[in-house]
Amino acid sequence: MVTMAKVWRLSDSFHGLPRVENFVLTEEELPSLSSKDVLIGAVYLSLDPYFRVFSSGKNLPGEQVGRVLDSKSAEYPVGSLVCVHAGWRSHSVINVTKPRSYGTKVVKIVDVSGVSPSLWLGAAGMPGVTAFMAFHNKCHPKPGEVIVVSSAAGAVGSVVGQLAKLKGLTVIGIAGSNEKCQYIKDLGFDHAINYKMDDISSSLDTASPSGVDIYFDNVGGNISNTVNSKMKSHGRVLDCGSISTYNDDSASQGH
């Protein structure tokens, strides 16, 4: 039986903000399975900021949670839930012995009842691991310190803020709407700044008159210029990303 995959590709490279016209939905006939191949049906697709910068040619990158629909590998029986860098596509035929883009593999994931498998693309996946490793291994947090997190309602920032609360820090989040500010307050953030409505500088002075010990930066640009001006001596700035620059084709994307 022939399997047809629906595959999102780029019809045109990005210029400035991504537009619907940049994307085209195509169809692709999949090969029959060879030894160690599995047929995966997508369950959740991940949309991450790095797509804007790392998309090459017609192909979109992207991790997905999928379910094994057919298998020539005893290690991945039909019905297994997996995470795989397959791109934005409904179905994939993948050889489980071959590494994927930048070394990733087909990762079997635990199907926890009552927990959405989409978490494996968020808090339990790459964003969550990024937050955990960057916060604990690079920020050197100490209880009682003050941390500012930009893009605080995002996949990475929302986890960083919760980890910081667990570590006993005072946590200030910066987000772009009152709803997101309420969301991060509900997560336990001590302060929430709406960068589209509030004066960031005076809000930071009010939230932490003595300044900032750690800035977990996901945004870059003017927001970070303001936060950086509030850093204490020996403060730490963790440059996780600069999403405010990704749509600026003239900016250099160095990380």
Ligand X SMILES: NC(=O)C1=CN([C@@H]2O[C@H](COP(=O)(O)OP(=O)(O)OC[C@H]3O[C@@H](n4cnc5c(N)ncnc54)[C@H](OP(=O)(O)O)[C@@H]3O)[C@@H](O)[C@H]2O)C=CC1
Ligand Y SMILES: CCCCCC(=O)/C=C/[C@@H]1[C@@H](C/C=C\CCCC(=O)O)[C@@H](O)C[C@H]1O
Give residues in contact with ligand X (CB under 6 A).
Answer: 48-50, 127, 130, 151, 153-157, 175-177, 180, 218-219, 223, 240-244
Minimum separation from the CB atom of position 89 to ligand Y (A): 13
Q: What does 162 interact with, of ligand Y, ligand X, none (CB < 5 to 8 A by kind)? A: none
Q: What does 61 interact with, of ligand Y, ligand X, none (CB < 5 to 8 A by kind)? A: ligand Y
Q: Which is nearer to ligand X, 72 or 138 (CB)?
A: 138
Q: Of 42, 64, 241, 244, which lies in the binding site for ligand Y, with binding defined by CB under 6 A? A: 241
Minimum separation from the CB atom of position 99 to ligand Y (A): 12
174: Cβ contacts below 8 Å, ≥ 6 apart: 148, 149, 150, 151, 152, 192, 193, 195, 200, 219, 223, 227
Q: What does 41 interact with, of ligand Y, ligand X, none (CB < 5 to 8 A by kind)? A: none
Minimum separation from the CB atom of position 78 to ligand Y (A): 26
Number of residues that bind ligand Y (CB under 6 A): 14
Q: Tally Cβ neighbours within 10 Å of residue 122.
A: 18
Look at residues 58, 65, 64, 75 and name the one whose alpha carbon lies nearest to residue 24.
58
Residue 251 and residue 248: Cα distance in Å, rounded?
Answer: 6
154 binds ligand Y (CB under 6 A): no
49 binds ligand Y (CB under 6 A): yes
Q: What does 85 interact with, of ligand Y, ligand X, none (CB < 5 to 8 A by kind)? A: ligand Y
54 binds ligand Y (CB under 6 A): yes
Minimum separation from the CB atom of position 180 to ligand X (A): 5
Q: Which is nearer to ligand Y, 161 or 241 (CB)?
A: 241
3-state secondary structure the chain: CCCEEEEEEECCCCCCCCCHHHEEEEEEECCCCCCCEEEEEEEEECCCCCHHHHCECCECCCEEEEEEEEECCCCCCCCCEEEEECCCECEEEEECCCCCHHHCCCEECCCCCCCCHHHHHCCCCHHHHHHHHHHHHHCCCCCCCEEEECCCCCHHHHHHHHHHHHCCCEEEEEECCHHHHHHHHHHCCCEEEECCCCCHHHHHHHHCCCCEEEEEECCCHHHHHHHHCCEEEEEEEEECCCHHHCCCCCCCCCC
What is the contact mask toward ligand Y in residues 55 to 84, using x (rule: CB under 6 A)?
------x-----------------------
Q: What does 244 interact with, of ligand X, ligand Y, none (CB < 5 to 8 A by kind)? A: ligand X
220 binds ligand Y (CB under 6 A): no
Q: What does 253 interact with, of ligand X, ligand Y, none (CB < 5 to 8 A by kind)? A: ligand Y
Residue number of the CB closest to ligand Y reads: 61
Q: Which is nearer to ligand X, 38 or 152 (CB)?
A: 152
